[in-house]
Structure 1
Amino acid sequence: MATMTEHTLRGFSALGFHRLAYTQWMPEGGLPGRTIVCCHGLTRNGRDFDVLAADLADSLGARVVCPDVVGRGKSGTLANPDLYGYPQYLADMAALIARLDVESVDWVGTSMGGLIGMILAAQGDTPITRLVVNDVGPLVPKAALERIGTYVGTNPVFGTVEEVQRYLSLVYAPFGDLTDAQWRHLAEHGYWTRPDGTLGLAYDTGIARAFQTQPITDVDLWPVWGMIRCPVLAIRGLQSDLLTAEIAQAMTERGPKATLFEVADAGHAPALMDPAQLAAVRDFLR
């Protein structure tokens, strides 16, 4: 059985160093020759991947690393919220890959984590050898970003973990038909305890700055998509408003010509906890 350990490293921004936390899942028998990085969505954290990470470590004999992007989970925050953005996230993930001391990694990214993976995979001499993008593509529609902007950074206050669970099961209902135990897992790793003892969601509300200070428009990364050379699996929730059917179909025809896997009972974004979803990722990476 795979074992999980927690680690940290230091990232660097214009205002100095910050802590980056990550979990590492190791297969039984020691350090493998293969590493997979799983990177979460905008307001989530690396513990979202516990089920997938354990499955991949056991089935593929791989080391699976799940970071908390700065401002989320057990990672530190940035003193200036204007620094939250892809330039910082890319630099931090490059530092993580350097820490892992490997020449190449496979990348699984949900939403924001998928965009990070796409941009990394498009670079010259990239270490990304296989890429899984979960419910995100090279065109992010304005309407989906406006919907996300209605809840990101709202800073709700909770009294108990049960209240956190109820909130997550409503706001993130498009994750799919999760069991109570799965929602509980997301809740237990999805809150911070405030100084007054109340609970808040486990992310810095400063990550919402971009939604508040700039006009929301479509995000067009088709030129980036065209520079990706590695094999790509695109996962799409059939009810997704962020990865539409038209965008997903175009992803199979342009650039790296992704393989498409669709999830019937999910929107944005499938939780990657269901056996069929686990099998799709496992088989592609195999």
Structure 2
Amino acid sequence: MSEPTLNYVACPDANGGHRMAYWEWGDRANPHVVVCGHGLSRQGRDFDVLAGALCARVRVVCPDVAGRGQSDWLKDPTGYQIPAYAADMLALLAQLKPATLDWVGTSMGGLIGMVLAGQPDLPLPAPVRRLVLNDVGPAIQWPALERIGQYLGNTGRFESLQQAADAMWAVSSSFGPHTPAQWLALSTHMVKPVGDDVRGALTLHYDPAIAVPFRSLTQEAATQGEAAMWQLYDGITADTLLLRGAQSDLLTRETALAMTQRGPKARLVEFAGVGHAPTLVAADQVEAVASFLLG
């Protein structure tokens, strides 16, 4: 499989700005752009398999959200929140200038997509045409957030990539069945060397401070935020595909079904044996997204 190119976009903030990295697949002159937004503690290379399946037909752009992967860490950790991430994506889209825009968002990346697609007055170069929400919706289950909070920010220290992959699997088995090779590939871009450690120790490739605003969230605030997210969802006009792990503890089936009845009336596809969240590596998951975007 070919490798993507790494590029950057300058993003404004209250502390002098920061650079957001993004991985690009396919012909840079292609006016049809698919942006793939990753989950809370992940990074853009999570979409390598999906991008490889799409890039002959469209230009695929997979950003590392601020604080993750090759992107800058924020000076003020309170900036690690959805509104700021959405503002960074506006800067990215202004640089990309797509004529046709689709969005694929896993978990946090889906929430960012809802913010962009649900507000028609945003200065997008093109409206979101098709939207894929991967195991996320306006209502998020509090126990799932508590589960994620137990490990978020603990970037660890590992003596090998395999050790790091094993540790990540211990908190990510809900992603569903993966071969050892698939999981190692997903883990490779999740780690970086520890400083100047001559023994080659590794740590997870994100700023531990992304946990600061996450841990300040209360159940009451999360419940209050649901109304605003439903309002955004109801404002979406893009053709929408909703993916759900059948065992997801974050997106309930009740919420998923409600999403098929209101707003853009999403088309729902569920994957058996998978929780939160499908990684879009398995052939049936890739096919569901590819046929929706390219069909």
Q: TM-score, normalised by structure 1?
A: 0.94
Give the AA of the match of 1:274: A
Instruction: Show CA shifts across 1:135-168 (max 9, x none).
Output: 0011112111111111101232211111111012
Question: Which of 183, 205, 215 lines up with 2:208 in the alignment?
Answer: 205
> Which segments of 5 or more consecutive residues in structure 2 lack a partner in the other structure?
none
2:291 maps to 1:283:
yes
User: Cα distance, 1:229 vs. partner?
Assistant: 0.9
Write out aligned runs for 1:67-86 (5 A).
67-86=63-82
> Which segments of 5 or more consecutive residues in structure 1 lack a partner in the other structure?
none
Task: State the aligned residue count.
Answer: 282
Instruction: Show CA shifts across 1:64-121 (max 9, x none).
Output: 0000000000101001111111121011100111110224410000000000001100
Secondary structure at 1:233 match in 2: strand
Give, in whole Å, the separation in 1 of the partners of 2:251 and 2:82: 19
Aligned match of 1:183? 183
User: Cα distance, 1:32 vs. partner?
Assistant: 2.1
Give, in whole Å, the separation in 2 of the partners of 1:104 and 1:210: 34
User: Cα distance, 1:2 vs. partner?
Assistant: 6.1
Q: TM-score, normalised by structure 2?
A: 0.92
CA gap of 1:3–1:153, structure 2 versus 1, over 3 A, is closer
User: Cα distance, 1:174 vs. partner?
Assistant: 1.2
Aligned match of 1:158? 158
Contact 2:11 2:19 in 1 (8 A): yes
Write out aligned runs for 1:233-248 (5 A).
233-248=241-256
Aligned match of 1:46? 44
Give the AA of the match of 1:215: T
Give the AA of the match of 1:243: L
User: Cα distance, 1:214 vs. partner?
Assistant: 3.4
Aligned match of 2:268? 260
Instruction: Show CA shifts across 1:214-251 (max 9, x none).
Output: 32333411111111111100000001011111011111
Give, in whole Å, the separation in 1 of the partners of 2:265 and 2:216: 35
Aligned match of 1:228? 236
Instruction: Show CA shifts across 1:30-60 (max 9, x none).
Output: 63231100010000000000000010113xx
Give, in whole Å, the separation in 2 of the partners of 1:279 and 1:39: 18
Identity %: 47
Regions of 4+ moved over 4 Å: none
2:149 maps to 1:149:
yes
Contact 2:161 2:187 in 1 (8 A): yes
Give, in whole Å, the separation in 2 of the partners of 1:135 and 1:228: 17
Give the AA of the match of 2:154: T
Answer with 195-204 or 92-101: which moved more.
195-204
User: Cα distance, 1:256 vs. partner?
Assistant: 0.6
Aligned match of 1:137? 137
Give, in whole Å, the separation in 1 of the partners of 2:75 and 2:55: 36
Aligned match of 1:214? 217
Give the AA of the match of 1:264: A
Instruction: Show CA shifts across 1:10-48 (max 9, x none).
Output: 111110121111111015xx6323110001000000000
Aligned match of 1:93? 89
